[in-house]
Amino acid sequence: MPRRAVLLLLACVFAAAAFGVSRRAEWPLPGAASWTARHPDPRVVDAGAEAALAAQVDGERRGDLLLLFAALAAGCLVVAAAPRVAAWMGGAPSAVLLCGSIGLGVAQLGVSIAGQARGLRDGSWSVADDTLDRIAPREAATLREWRARIAPDEGVILIGSDPRLYDLVVWALDPRPLYPLLLDIRPATSAEQVLRGARGLPIVRERGARWIADLNVLPPGTPAGHAALMRVEP
């Protein structure tokens, strides 16, 4: 009976902790920011991006703590309700951890199944051979048009550094040779200026790259002084 009382008490404590965590948007590590300010990493070149990452990690830490406390509370409740589980597991701590883990896992399993069912309804989950429409509903038509225009052996210079658009083009234009230039050009730059710059590149003169694609103006409707895909003649 005392063990059951302790487990119920712990369940309340963990539930309260979960509730406390849920009321905050982030959970930063104590002292981490001041340590970083006093000891900056020499590799960090974009403090803004790193601050954004830190905020994201703090938010995910909050989510993990919430799940952790909720799972511990559930585990305590199960073992308090069914003490045989602790005997079977060789101890209450193991039983609490295992029951909490399974409970959390089953809940997440439900989330995954519900997400897949939702995706099936809205078209984002499919086993059909047409992933491009699902990855990039806005850009798929443009990328298919590019694939029709660019011969499989013609090289393409990639301008821009947006990771999502980069992945899209890498996926859609395979097996065409891709030559990434990790730089951004102003959207207002004229087509002639872009082509003049491209003609001077060794990959055009010596390696046969014949197209230049500016990922920054790939999304339909982006105002720009040049097309997203242009043919380059050396």
Partner 1 sequence: MSLAVGALFVLLLVLAGWWPLRRLAGGWVGAAPLERAALALALGAAVTGLLQLAVSACGAPSTALVPGAAAALSLLLCRLAPGPPSPPPVRAGPLPGLLALLLVVVAVASVGAAVGTPFSADGVRIWSAKARDLALHAATSAPSLHDPDRFGVHRDYPLLVPALLAPSFAWSGPEAAAGPKLVLAALNLALLGVASGLLRRAGPRGLAALAGLATLPFLCSLEVRESAVAGGYADSTDALFLLLVVAGVQRLGAEERPARAAGLVALAGGALVSTKLEGGVELLVVVVAALLAGLPRRRVLPAAALAVLLALPTFAIRAGVAGDEAAFELASLLAPGVLAARAPPIASGLAGLALDASSFALLPLLVLAWLLPSAPAGQTRTRTLALWMLAGALLFLATAYLATGMIPARHIYTSAHRLAWHWLPALLLLAAQLAPAPGHAPAHPATTPARRPDAA
Task: Pick out residues in 22-51 that bind partner 1 (CB under 8 A).
Answer: 29, 32, 35-36, 39-44, 50
How long is the chain?
234
The residue (of 132 and 195) whose beta carbon lies closer to partner 1 is 132
Q: Of the candidates 106, 141, 151, 188, which one interacts with partner 1 according to CB under 8 A?
A: 106
**Judged by CB under 8 A, which stretch of 5-13, 103-111, 212-220, 221-229 contacts partner 1?**
103-111
Smallest gap from residue 128 Cβ to partner 1 (A) = 8
Helices (H), the chain: 2-22, 32-38, 47-81, 84-89, 92-122, 131-135, 140-149, 163-173, 191-199, 202-205
Smallest gap from residue 51 Cβ to partner 1 (A) = 10
Instruction: Give the contacts of 140 (CB within 8 A, at least 6 positions apart).
Output: 132, 133
Cα–Cα distance, 191 to 198 (Å, whole number): 10
Smallest gap from residue 199 Cβ to partner 1 (A) = 16
Tokens coding 234: 């050396």
**How big is the site for partner 1, counted in residues (CB under 8 A)?**
73
The residue (of 19 and 171) whose beta carbon lies closer to partner 1 is 171
Site string for partner 1, 55-94 (x = CB under 8 A): -xx--xx-xxx-xx--xx--x------------xxx--xx
Q: Are 156 and 212 spatial neighbours (Cβ–Cβ below 8 Å)?
A: yes
The residue (of 94 and 189) whose beta carbon lies closer to partner 1 is 94
* Region of 90 on the Ramachandran plot (φ > 0 left; ψ -120 to 50 alpha; else beta): left
Smallest gap from residue 223 Cβ to partner 1 (A) = 28
Smallest gap from residue 192 Cβ to partner 1 (A) = 25
Q: Which helix (H) or strand (E) holds 210?
A: strand 209-214
Query: Kindly report the CA angle at 212 between 207 and 217, in degrees rounded to 5?
Result: 160
- Say how many CA atoms lie within 13 Å of 74 toward its Cβ: 17
**Judged by CB under 8 A, which stretch of 5-13, 162-170, 188-196, 217-225 contacts partner 1?**
162-170
**Judged by CB under 8 A, which stretch of 3-11, 127-135, 188-196, 221-229 contacts partner 1?**
127-135
- Tell me if residue 184 falls in helix, strand or coil: coil
The neighbouring-strand residues paired with 211 are 156, 231
Query: In the window 165-194, what residues touch partner 1 (CB under 8 A)?
Result: 166-167, 170-172, 174-175, 177-180
The residue (of 155 and 224) whose beta carbon lies closer to partner 1 is 155
